[in-house]
Amino acid sequence: MKPSGEDRAARAGGPWEECFEAAVQLALRAGQIIRKALSEEKRVSTKTSAVDLVTETDQAVEALILSELQERFPSHRFIAEEAAAAGAKCVLTPSPTWIVDPIDGTCNFVHRFPTVAVSIGFAVNQELEFGVIYHCTEERLYTGQRGRGAFCNGQQLQFRETDLSKALVLTEIGPRRDPATLKLFLSNMERLLRTGAHGVRVIGSSTLALCHLASGAADAYYQFGLHCWDLAAATVIIREAGGIVMDTSGGPLDLMACRVVAAGTREMATLVAQALQTINYGRDDER
């Protein structure tokens, strides 16, 4: 189902509305490209590990999004996954900054597993202003604007209240597969299951996992090994749905720290954070 124009128009207004609408239109266009390419042959390359994949579609979609935004907003700055992989610095300044993941779920995309999204976040004065995440195969447009709520195809999103012993917890593996990392990853999953959580799920897309939390389809998320472009848009959507996003230390979210805990309440997020052993993936702004 496509988001209806009148739904979005109903929320018109806000200081960055022109940028928000540009992000929505670009996410929908990118989603069409990704949806078409999902079933086609792909040229697959690797980045930081044999399981950290990138395709020509990741590159093409990122080029489309960035070229259109740079033309419309030449004074703005950009942080994007594939540009960062090519050596661009991830520095969040007070300038209006776009934070883009052209395909979130590239490993899924390569395998034609239909859990794939495009994620476009936007920050000003180092404060996240809005996020747009488009589930390309289910045609679900998730949006969040600071102080203006979170929506999926025009339907307002709200966290479901629950406690950890009844929670469905989502996480992601991250790109490292060395024995020590795998041991910690599996140990953290075991620790969460020992709390009595109903289940733990890994779906291959951190942005869509966080959207599931915001829509009440899951209750908590944690990850070591994601990036600022996985987190930016989803953080606004989670917050605007009434949820909490924090650092795995229990402190405030650090967008560049490559780690996160999210839940409907600070109490739940803190319980998850306290159960975790840290896996050090470094920082996006120190690469």
**Region of 95 on the Ramachandran plot (φ > 0 left; ψ -120 to 50 alpha; else beta):** beta
What x/- string results for residues 37 through 76 when contact with ligand I4D is judged by CB under 6 A? ---------------x------------------------
Among 143, 181, 206, 248, binds ligand I4D (CB under 6 A): 206
The answer for residues whose C-beta is within 8 angstroms of residue 252's C-beta and 6 or more apart is 246
The answer to whether residues 20 and 26 touch, using CB atoms and an 8 Å cutoff, is: no
At 240 the three-state DSSP class reads helix
CA dihedral sign of residues 233, 239, 244, 246: positive
The answer to whether residues 148 and 14 touch, using CB atoms and an 8 Å cutoff, is: yes
Residue 204 binding ligand I4D, by CB under 6 A: yes
Is 17 one of the annotated binding-site residues? no
Decide whether 164 or 226 has the Cβ nearer to ligand I4D. Answer: 226
Residue 279 binding ligand I4D, by CB under 6 A: no
Among 230, 240, 254, 284, binds ligand I4D (CB under 6 A): 230
Residue 60: other Cβ atoms inside 10 A: 17
Decide whether 103 or 272 has the Cβ nearer to Mg ion. Answer: 103
Residue 243 binding ligand I4D, by CB under 6 A: no
Q: Which of 82, 104, 240, 284 is catalytic?
A: 104
The answer to whether residues 107 and 116 touch, using CB atoms and an 8 Å cutoff, is: no
C-alpha 93 chain-centroid distance? 20
Q: Can you list the pairs that 43-46 forms with residues at least 24 positions away whose Cβ atoms lie under 8 Å?
A: 44/110
| Nearest-approach distance from CB 47 to ligand I4D, in angstroms | 8
58 has catalytic annotation: no
Is 103 one of the annotated binding-site residues? yes
Binding footprint of Mg ion on the chain (CB under 5 A): 81, 101, 103-104, 230
Is 230 one of the annotated binding-site residues? yes
81 has catalytic annotation: yes
Residue set of the binding site? 81, 101, 103-104, 230
Q: Which residues are catalytic?
A: 81, 101, 103-104, 106, 230
